[in-house]
Amino acid sequence: MDRTDIRLALPSKGILQDGALDFLEACGLKVFRPNPRQYAASIPNLPGVTVLFQRPGDIVTSVLGGSLEFGITGLDVLAERTAGGFINGGETGDILVIHDALGFGPCSLNLAVPESLPVYTTKDLGDWSRTALANGSPLRIATKFPHLTRQFLGQYGVEHYRMIAVEGTLEIAPAMGNADLICDLVSSGVTLRDNHLRPLADGIILRSQAIMIANRRALQARPEVLTTARYLLEFIEAHLRGSGSYLITANIRGDSAQAIADRMFEQATIGGLQGPTIAPVIVREHLREDTNWFAVNIVVRREKLFEAVSELRAIGGSGVVVVPCAYIFDEEPERYRQMVSALAGESSG
């Protein structure tokens, strides 16, 4: 029997779970989970959606199989399964990445060696692997990403090694004598340093962060799933566009809105994203002799805030008000257009 519900899966633990919950709340899509031990929850602002909690790898598998319509997981997890040929021989198949940069869970997949070894680059690693082979023992690489690691090493001509599957913490494997080096996810690098490991200078295999994926067939066959995708992308994009942006409002005296705009365009910062919004200030009747005041509104990024306020004051701005932007909604989210284009290409193909 075909399902009629819509399911969104989030990581079931760790940094990705915390990041996903915080991120969705910041997007206006707070997850309601009355019992943290339950593996199902809801989003009051998306009443037709059931939220489930799964391991990141299981999210990829479930979206691929169609038991989930949407999922938030790590790019590293999807890339490993794609590299391994589990998904249509290296393609994403029925999985469509509808947002590739949610902005949380950043990390990189790195090759790292013991600090005591004179191995600093992939060239050094290749030389080491040939020496190890000549001594009768290929290099042992501990990793949970064998397919991405193998792909990367092949690009650099490193051939003499074998993968070591390790459960739990990888960083201790060289010290325990179970591996010669590791390939693991790195966030701050503190754990590597604490375990006397050093990443190779050119050993970054993949830069990863949280992504949102969807099932292609569900998007194509069920209008309500497509509508939910647009709703999700609307709020995600609006939040990401608004994050770190500020709305500045000021009053400026001038002969006309265009005259004020011309003065603003002469400045480095206060032209706004597409240009300022300028409107006449409606004054009380007993003040109408002073009718040349205009209200100016612009949006700037945090790093340009002080400069923008200074420029406004320099051209006569007063009563400057600064408000952080929670959301900036575009006419239509760019990633929604990309998704629809990808689906149309799939249908015509």
Cα(83)–Cα(80) distance, rounded to whole angstroms?
5
Give residue 182's pLDDT: 97
Whether 107-205 and 6-105+209-242+331-348 are alike in CATH topology: the answer is: yes
Class of the 6-105+209-242+331-348 domain? alpha beta
Within 13 A of 4's CA, how many CA atoms are on the CB side? Answer: 0
Phi and psi at residue 246, to the nearest 5°:
-135, 140
Do the beta carbons of residue 51 and residue 42 sit within 8 Å? yes
The residues, any chain, with a CB within 8 Å of residue 191's CB and separated by 6 or more, are 171
- CB neighbours (10 Å) of residue 136? 6
Domain limits of the chain? 6-105+209-242+331-348, 107-205, 245-324
Strand partners, 277: 297
Mark the ranges of the chain whose per-residue pLDDT is less than 50: 348-349
Query: CA-CA distances (angstroms) from residue 91 to 95, 102, 195?
Result: 9, 22, 36
Angle between helices 146-155 and 75-83 (to 10 degrees): 70
Cα(156)–Cα(177) distance, rounded to whole angstroms?
25
Residue 275 Ramachandran class (φ > 0 left, ψ -120 to 50 alpha, else beta):
left
Give residue 274's pLDDT: 67
For 245-324, CATH number? 3.30.70.120
Instruction: Kindly state the DSSP code that residue 66 receives in the 8-state scheme.
Output: T
For residue range 308-344, list pLDDT tens digits in order: 999 999 999 999 999 999 999 988 889 999 999 989 8
Do the beta carbons of residue 234 and residue 336 sit within 8 Å? yes
CATH topology for 107-205 is D-Maltodextrin-Binding Protein; domain 2 (3.40.190)
Give residue 349's pLDDT: 44
Strands 95-99 and 210-215, how do they pair? antiparallel
Radius of gyration of the chain (CA): 26
Give residue 167's pLDDT: 80
